[in-house]
Every structure is written in structure tokens, then in C-alpha cells.
Amino acid sequence: MPPFAGKRILLGVSAGIAAYKSALIIRLLKQAGMEVRVVMTDGAQAFITPLTLQALSGEPVRTSLLDPGAEAGMGHIELARWADLILIAPGTADLMARLAHGMADDLLTTLCLASEAPRLMAPAMNQVMWRHPATQRNLEQLSRDGWQWVGPDAGDQACGDIGPGRMSEPEAVAEAVFKVFRPAQTSRSCHIVITAGPTREPLDPVRYLSNHSSGKMGYALAHAAARTGARVSLISGPVNLPTPAGVERFDVDSAAQMHSAAHRLAQGADIFIGCAAVVDFRAEAPAEHKIKKHQNEDSLTLILVKNPDIIADIAALPSASRPLVIGFAAETRDVEHYARDKLARKGLDMIVANDISQAGGVFGSDDNAAWLLWKTPDGQASESLPSQPKARLASDIIQRALDLLAFGETP
């Protein structure tokens, strides 16, 4: 079941070029299982059509306070009571001013006055308008009235200016919505340990066994986890990536080193995510000196031994110190079959499976798709996440992990 199934979002769209972003916001909220109904101001309809948002939300779009059909049953009051959250994206300077003064001169402002639901706004306007003292006074008043905010961001604007006032990206707005409903205790004081990147197993002082892992997925997970406010420990194999802000990084090289760091950090942690591509075998006896190629030898025999199974060992920790354990499965065929087998065989709580046989692969790419499988009190549940930037996919996975930690299964 999607993580926020049944939550009811009333999305208000006001006049601004950023209104086009509301379409993707609806899609992201619907993917999370939320019900979305849309109210548009007159000006908003000049930038995006009600039909577009109706097709995405699956619900009629309301545009008028004086709608005879709806008002026969006091429709605006029913809609105000229906909402679990009112989200306005984009929110213009004009709309902020009217709300700050308690006006109810159209359907959207009337709903805001008639509802007791939490209220969240993503402002969008020219940088001079955002900085204007009147807008800042309205911002302060609305904050005192209980409004929450996402953005605005700074950067290039449609008018050619550069500065604060850009509406936050749809992913950031959706994440702000999710935070309203996510139990605060799931991320506050939560310790998440993540492994990332490849390991290297030396054959001699020059050569080693490894794989194509870039570490991008693990680092994206660490960044997404840190954004929730969690304490994040990242155990990283050799990669060429900067440490995400707010993350404590522990560099390792071999599987044995990663195994030692994982055991030390995972005991007492809340969540352990094994995203690293750990080399399964190592040389039994790495050569002390560089292995030479001799003219009379056409082959080389290496004796390899198994590396420790990091994720299985963490899953086998005593319950008092065992975290929620999430593994990854990169497969070239029968993805679901092998994922179910790995979940059971290694005693995991959730597994993230990737099909690496697709064109372009997964290692080193910026996009990824995944199939999630997790344990529930009644058995197992699963969800497919479409191909998308790894940063967005990582945010979805962290959300599922936090929900699983809070509820024992995703809500």
C-alpha cells in the first residue's frame, strides 16, 4: 500500500508562471496514495487549464465560489471539511496579501478561512516583490496564523531577474507535504547507517577485484536521509563523490573493512541500508609483489575465498541491538524471484531490487528504477518505483524505511 494512502490534499493554484509545476505536484502526491482535489483562481487558468489538472487528479477542478451545483449543498464548506491539508502552490504576493487580511473574495481564500486543516504554501513571485516590506509583513502574519512554508528558492526567474522568489521544485513541495503526515519521531534522533560504493580486493600491490558501482545511489540515500533530520553514518567504498551535507563518512577499501565498520556502527542504530556493491570473493593469499606475466604461461590460477556477508550478519544481530535492515539486489534476470529469496534467506526487513540488464544499466547512471519488497505482519507487500533520478528515488526509499520503522509496515 502506498505510504500515505487516503490522505486528502486540497491543492490551491494561483496565478503565476510556476502554475505548470502544480501538475507534477499532483502526480507525486497521487503516487504516494493521496487523494487530491484542485481549486484554481481565475488568474491561474491563464497559465494552465483546469482540464489538465482534472485529468491528473481524477477529480473535478473547482474554479468558482458561486457554483450553483456545488453550492446547493454548501459545497465550499464540505470541501473545507474534506481536506486533511490545504496546499497552495504557487502562492502569489496578491494571494498572500488577501489571506493575511482575512479576505474571502473567491473560492480559495474562502476555503482557507473555513478549514481547520493544516496549511502549507509554496510562494512564487518576482524577487523584488518577495523582498518588498509588505510581502514580508504578510509572511510574518500568515506564519503567526499557522501557515507553513516551502521555499521560495533563489535563482533565475521567468522575468529575467535573479534572486529569491522561485517556487520550490515539485519534489521539494511534495516532500514538505509528506513531512506534515510523517510521525516526527521517525526521523528525529533516528540513526541511519548506509553502505555505498564498491569494495576492492587486492590480488597484488597493483591489481584488485572490484565492480562498476559508482556509489551514486548510496550517496543519494545518505543525502535524502540527512534531509529528514536523521543522524547519518555513511560507510563508503572508494568513490569519487563529495560527502553529502550533514553526513558522517567512514572510508573503507575492502569487504573486511566494510564488515568491521558496519558491525561497529549498526549495533544500536535504527536503520541499516546495505547499498554497497560488495565483492563476493577475495584472493586467499594476495601476492606480496606484483604478479609477473611469464612468456611460457598462458593462464593464471587464482584461489578465491568468500567475503563476509555484511547484510546477513547485521540482520542476525540480537534483537536488542538489531536495526531495521534493508538490502539491495542487483539482478540481470528473474528480479522478483531473486529478491524474494534474498529477503527470506538473509533475514531482511525490506529489499530494493534493480534490473541491471536494461539498456544503459544502473551502475554509474543518474537514473534508476526499483521494486521494493518488505515484510508485513500478514506476509509481504511490494511496490514498483518507475525510472527516475536517483535523488528522487532515494527520497522515496528513505520515506518507506521511516514508515516501516514507525508502523511496522508502510501505512
When pLDDT is cut at 50, 70 and 90, the band that residue 304 belongs to is very high
- Of 274 and 137, more confident: 274
In the chain, what are the domain boundaries?
A: 8-180, 184-289+301-407
pTM recorded for the entire structure: 0.58
Q: How large is the average pLDDT for residues 315-334?
A: 88
* Rounded distance between C-alpha atoms, residue 48 and residue 16, angstroms: 9
pLDDT of residue 69: 56
Q: What is the overall mean pLDDT for the chain?
A: 85
> Which residues are annotated binding-site positions?
274-276, 280, 290, 308-311, 328, 342, 346
* Rounded distance between C-alpha atoms, residue 151 and residue 388, angstroms: 23
The answer on pLDDT for 335 being more than 90 is: no
* CA-to-CA separations, 122 to 38, 115, 169, 215, in angstroms, rounded: 15, 18, 9, 33
The answer on pLDDT for 196 being more than 80 is: yes
The answer on pLDDT for 72 being more than 60 is: no
* Rounded distance between C-alpha atoms, residue 198 and residue 215, angstroms: 7
When pLDDT is cut at 50, 70 and 90, the band that residue 408 belongs to is low
pLDDT of residue 2: 58
CA-wise closest residue to 407 among 107, 182, 98: 182
Q: How large is the average pLDDT for residues 49-58?
A: 90
pLDDT of residue 185: 45
The contacts of residue 54 (CB under 8 Å, 6+ apart) are 38, 60, 61
Active site residue 112: no
pLDDT of residue 67: 63
Point out the catalytic residue in the list 55, 113, 134, 159.
159
The answer on pLDDT for 359 being more than 60 is: no
The answer on pLDDT for 89 being more than 50 is: yes
Q: How large is the average pLDDT for residues 267-281?
A: 93
Is the Cβ–Cβ distance between 166 and 155 less than 8 Å?
A: yes
Burial 315-336 (b: 16+ CB within 10 A, else e): bebeeeebbbbbbbbbbeeebe
CATH of domain 8-180: 3.40.50.1950
When pLDDT is cut at 50, 70 and 90, the band that residue 104 belongs to is confident
In this structure, the strands spanning 191-196 and 231-236 are parallel
Is the Cβ–Cβ distance between 115 and 107 less than 8 Å?
A: no
Share of the chain above pLDDT 90, in %: 38
- Of 395 and 295, more confident: 395
The answer on pLDDT for 410 being more than 50 is: no
8-180 and 184-289+301-407 have identical folds:
yes
> Which residues are annotated binding-site positions for CTP?
274-276, 280, 290, 308-311, 328, 342, 346
CATH superfamily, domain at 184-289+301-407: CoaB-like (3.40.50.10300)
- Of 176 and 156, more confident: 176
